[in-house]
Amino acid sequence: MVKIIVFESGLVDLEAPIQMTDAQRKQFIAFFQKNFGEVSVQDIEEPVKNMGERESTPKKWTVEEFALLLGPETNEELTIAMGRTIMSVTIRRGGFVPEFLSWCEENEYRIPDGNDLLQLIKLYMEKRQ
């Protein structure tokens, strides 16, 4: 969550830096320019988490695997079933499922079972491309 810290002295701070879209950042700066007058903006190079070098050959995701991501199995179970890493399953699940459900809601689709689900995922892939 976005935490705003208010000190007894009247100072106000953020608990940590906040990720903002371009529009949000512009509004944020505009808010301070309007209320506080002179505001300077400084560009900063952010430190990034280095994952280290690694050699990997990306394995293409199949429609059947995408269908499994929508199922009740845990990430650990899918890791074993798919022969993929836990990181790969977690990232793909976290990326695909919300986007797919959002698309289904937009098009007023319910989530079907079996072959119908595979067809729906195929349709989603086609439309997304």
Nearest to other proteins of 5, 62 (CB atom): 5
Cβ of residue 53: shortest distance to other proteins, in angstroms? 19
Residue 123 is given by DSSP the state H
Compute the distance between CA of residue 121 and CA of residue 105 in angstroms, rounded to an integer: 14
Nearest to other proteins of 62, 74 (CB atom): 74
Cβ of residue 60: shortest distance to other proteins, in angstroms? 19
Q: Which two three-digit tokens encode residue 88?
A: 């790969």
Nearest to other proteins of 59, 101 (CB atom): 101
Other C-beta atoms within 10 Å of 66: how many? 20
> Interface residues with other proteins (CB under 8 A)?
1-21, 24-25, 27-29, 31-32, 35-36, 38-49, 69-75, 89-95, 97-99, 101-102, 104-105, 109-111
Nearest to other proteins of 41, 115 (CB atom): 41
Length of the chain: 129
The one-letter amino acid at 60: K
Cβ of residue 59: shortest distance to other proteins, in angstroms? 17
Other C-beta atoms within 10 Å of 32: how many? 12
Cβ of residue 107: shortest distance to other proteins, in angstroms? 10
Among 106, 124, 104, 107, CA closest to 61: 124
